[in-house]
Structure 1
Amino acid sequence: MLANPEAEQAWNEFVRLYHDIIFRVAQARGLQAADAEDVTQEVFVIVSRKVGGFDCAQPGSFRGWLHKLARDTAIDRLRQPAHHLGAGGSQMLRALKQHFVTEDTATLWDVEVKREQLLRACDHIRDQFSETVWQSFWLTAIERLSIPAAAAQLEKSPGSIRVARCRVMARLKKEVESDDRKFPL
Structure 2
Amino acid sequence: MDTAPTTRPSLLIRLRDPADECAWAEFVDIYGPLLQRLARGRGLQHADAEDLAQEVFRVVAAAIEGGRYDPSRGSFRGWLFRIAHNLTLKSLVARGRQPRGSGDTGVLNFLEEQPAPAPEDSAQFEAAYRRRMLEWAARKVRGEFSELAWHAFLATGVEARPAADVARELGIKVGSVYNLKCRVMARLRREIEQVQDAESAGF
Does the alignment reach a TM-score above 0.5? yes
Aligned partner (choices 18, 21, 31) of residue 34 of structure 2: 21
Alignment of 1:153 with 2:166, yes or no, is no
Equivalent positions of 1:154-173 (< 5 A) are: 154-173=170-189
* 1:81 counterpart residue number: 96
Please list every run of 5 or more consecutive structure 2 residues that lacks an aligned counterpart in the other structure.
1-13, 98-113
In 2: Cα distance, 1:172 partner to 1:103 partner: 28
| AA at the equivalent of 1:81 | G
Question: What CA deviation, in whole Å up to 9, does each residue of 1:72-102 have, x standing for no partner?
Answer: 11222223229xxxxxxxxxxxxxxx9xx75
How far apart, CA to CA, are the structure 1 residues paired with 2:195 and 2:75? 17
Give % identity: 37
| Residue matched to 1:69 | 83
| 1:178 Cα offset (Å) | 3.5
Query: Deviations along 1:111-159, whole A, 9 cap, x unmatched?
Result: 2222232223223332332211210001111223332443343343433
Structure 1-normalised TM-score? 0.72
Determine whether 1:116 maps to 2:129.
no
RMSD value over aligned CA atoms? 2.9
Q: How far did 1:5 drift?
A: 4.5
Which sections of structure 1, spanning at least 5 residues, go unmatched?
A: 83-97
Match of 2:151 among 125, 128, 135: 135
1:42 aligned partner? 55
Q: Is the 8 A contact 2:149 2:180 kept in 1?
A: yes
**3-state SS of 1:105 partner:** helix
**Match in the other structure for 2:199:** 184
Classify the secondary structure of the residue corresponding to 1:134: helix
Matching residue's letter, 1:73 = L
Change (3 A) 1:57 1:139: closer
SS of residue paired to 1:31 = coil
Q: CA deviation at 1:107?
A: 1.4
Give the number of the structure with larger relative contact order, counting CA–CA contacts within 8 Å between residues 6 or more apart: 2
Q: TM-score, normalised by structure 2?
A: 0.67
Specify the SS of the correspondent of 1:140: helix
Query: Which residue of 1 is the match for residue 43 of structure 2?
Result: 30
Question: How many corresponding residue pairs?
Answer: 167
Q: Secondary structure at the match of 2:74?
A: coil
Return the letter of the residue paired with 1:175: E
